[in-house]
Amino acid sequence: IAAWRPTLRWNFARSVFAACTFNFGPHAITVPHLDFGNLSWGWCAITALGWFDPDVGGHLILWDLKLVIRFPPGSTILLPSAIIRHSNVPVAAHERRYSFTQYTASGLFRWIRNGFRTEEAYESTVTSDEKRARQQENGGRWEKGVAMYSTLEDLRCS
């Protein structure tokens, strides 16, 4: 996107994410959810901030993995937030928990794939054969996305 439109400004130098959200709380909590707007195989960076006792509250819960993770202030985790249900545990009333999340919406990837056009603009310019080819390609996109993840074998030191 930056090459296409050099005047765009990144939120942060050297960031790989197009967007971010600050939750200034003071008791930033979330219910179990999926971030459907994010690319399904894309990463999301979640950072816990504030001052709270991480042994008592503020834990990150990854519901589908059946994990409760101690998540002290200053911790960051990368996860595919569109496909792993997640939430966090409340902190005590006298404590403060904020969050900072970085992500890229799937719509940006679609917009680039459509030649920097909306889905409607793209659809209005392609033939029925091209539409069929795109539909076929879409059917296997999830496999390409999953193939981008590292496996344990990939991560093992040789």
More confident residue, 87 or 134: 87
Domains of the chain with CATH codes: 19-104 (2.60.120.10), 107-143 (no CATH)
Please, which contacts does 27-31 make with residues 24 or more away whose CB atoms are closer than 8 Å? 27/90, 27/91, 27/93, 27/95, 27/96, 27/97, 28/88, 28/97, 28/98, 28/99, 29/87, 29/88, 29/89, 29/90, 29/91, 29/97, 30/86, 30/87, 30/88, 31/87
pLDDT value for 10: 86
Report the pLDDT averaged over residues 119-126: 91
Which pTM value belongs to this model? 0.84
Does the structure show a pLDDT above 70 at 158? no
